[in-house]
Amino acid sequence: MSTVPLQKNEHFESDELMFQSIYDTYYTELCLFAKRFVYSDEESEEIVQGVIVRLWTQREKILQIQSVRSYLYTSVRNHCLNYIKHQKYVDAYRDSARHELKEIESEGADEFLNFEVKEKIEVAINDLPERCREVFEMSRFDGLKYREIADQLGITVKAVEANISRALSSLRKSLREYLLVDLIVISIIFCSHGIGDILFLLS
C-alpha cells in the first residue's frame, strides 16, 4: 500500500483537524461499542485508538469511504472479534468459558449504537423502584462488586443480586420493542452496506 508523501504544509494541518473531529464525534461511542465485545474499558480504548491510527495511515482513502462512521464501526468490530479469539487462545486454561460466552454475547451486538434508544433507557431506569435503581447503577455504571454494594447499603449480597436481576428484567421488558426492531433494521443495513465498505477498503 503506498502512502502519499506528506509535506509539512496546510494539507497536514487540515488532516490533523479532520482527525480531531473524528475523535470528537466518534471516539466515545466507538469505545462503548467495543466494550460489548471486550472485557474492560482500557481494552476497548486501545482497540479504538488502534483503528483510528490505522485510518490515519490510509487517510488518502478517507474521501473515498462512503461512510466514515460505518467504516469505523466495522473495523472496531473486526478488531474486537480478533481480540477475543486471541484471548481465547492465550487464556485457554484459565476461564475459557468466559471467552466463549463473550463470543456468543457479541453475536447479538448491534451494528451501530442507536442513540435514539437512550431516552427510552433513561425513562425506563427512572421508573425502577428507588433502591432497585440505586443498586443497579452501582453495579452497571460504577462497576462495584455485589459484596461492595451490600456493604455500602447495609443489605445482604442476596438482596443486591435480587435487585439487579429485577432491574435488568424490568429494563428488558420495557425496552424490548426498541431493541428488537433495531436488530432487524440493523441486519438489513449490514447486509447492504457493511460488506461493500469492507471490500472497497481492501481493494
Binding residues among 102-161 for other proteins as defined by CB under 8 A: 104-105, 107-110, 113-115, 117-118, 121-122, 125, 130, 133-134, 137-146, 148, 151-152, 161
120 vs 198, beta carbon nearer other proteins: 120
Reading the block at residue 141, the C-alpha cell is 455504571
Strand spans (E) along 6-81: none
Site string for other proteins, 83-102 (x = CB under 8 A): -----------xx-xx-xx-
Residue 200 Cβ vs other proteins, minimum distance, rounded to whole Å? 24
**Shortest gap between Cβ of 72 and other proteins (angstroms)?**
13
Nearer to other proteins, 65 or 113 (CB): 113
- Closest approach, Cβ 147 to other proteins, in A, equals 8
Indicate the angle between helix axes 130-140 and 157-189, nearest 10 degrees.
70
Distance CA(45)–CA(34), nearest Å, equals 8
76 lies in the binding site for other proteins (CB under 8 A): no
Q: CA separation (Å) from 75 to 41, 132, 161?
A: 18, 37, 36
Smallest gap from Cβ 97 to other proteins, in A, equals 4
Angstrom distance (rounded) from CA 66 to CA 35:
25
Between 66 and 122, name the residue whose CB sits nearer to other proteins.
Answer: 122
How far is 15 from 13, CA to CA, in rounded Å? Answer: 5
Dihedral-angle region of residue 4 (phi above 0 means left; psi in -120 to 50 means alpha; beta otherwise): beta
Does 28 bind other proteins (CB under 8 A)? Our answer is yes
In angstroms, give the least distance from the CB of 81 to other proteins: 15
Q: Is 49 in the site for other proteins (CB under 8 A)?
A: yes
Could you give the CA distance from residue 3 to residue 72 in angstroms, rounded to a whole number? 20
